[in-house]
A and B are shown apart, each in its own frame.
Chain A
């Protein structure tokens, strides 16, 4: 994991985190450069979602040790909203529904909060609508959803597409997609993945957290990391994902057993 550091966007060293006293991350090292797509894979309970949520600043997760540098700043010092304003975006595994607030109002509040943070003027309703419409085309979303309450009564596919729409509007520097493929059928998966692919760009890094390889058929990663029991146990290129697909995660247990015996 060592190498040229000059253009790393995200540098994680020895990150340990726990929730309610249970240790989940046990020393994560990871470097992500601008323009790259990294996939984090691993069995259930390996800590994938925890890593995503720790990076987004969820307070239930306690960071016990380690450092996270993001564009040269100490990410762990920032609140969740500051991280968002600094360009970090988490696409939720389970997007929250908020009855009574339209998708448009939600998005505009978010966009303006970020603009205020960056000392830019707030966007007015007309410009905002124009921006959202252009981004909706990108993810193939029906404009009706804009005026419905946030995720309220949305299908699984609509919710995930809505996350990608938010990403497209908020234009983050680092996007973390937490199991964006879960609960999607193959058509919905393809639409969501196409949306993400359109949002790949040189200045942006994307971390894709997933249990299954199939999402990576559509969003092709530069690097794949396998997480097990809170550690990255293997890293490689996209072929690693294919290997996992073939062999499953059972070989990890074998590795772990060996590691346990050695200890």
Chain B
């Protein structure tokens, strides 16, 4: 009897350990994020891609930014919520992105769907880049599922809760 009890206890322990291990992996996959700095809703992770990256940054980038360039080549700014309200960006809303010409050799704003790939639409407007701004001092871009009457446009059709 004691041996039976022990075997039963060990089986229970093994099941609990397996379940807890899987939960640990799943929760980490879902919630782990890299240390970042936030500027008006735009987040930046300075150690992206570098050998000096901490394990959390490396794990985050492996999931959502594999093959990212280091700060020597590029800086990635990411936004998934409205600047003023903090609400998640959604294809059900229209947004205005405006700013001044960025002090960079080249820049672009690209819309990615929730799965971190380009949104599944054939509108042909997944991004807006510096060559399209033609050196203007300011830029104004509409993010919307429907093409605006005028102006620069990034299509959010089928983007769900997208990020830019």
A and B part of one assembly: no
Interface residues of A (CB under 8 A from B): none
Interface residues of B (CB under 8 A from A): none
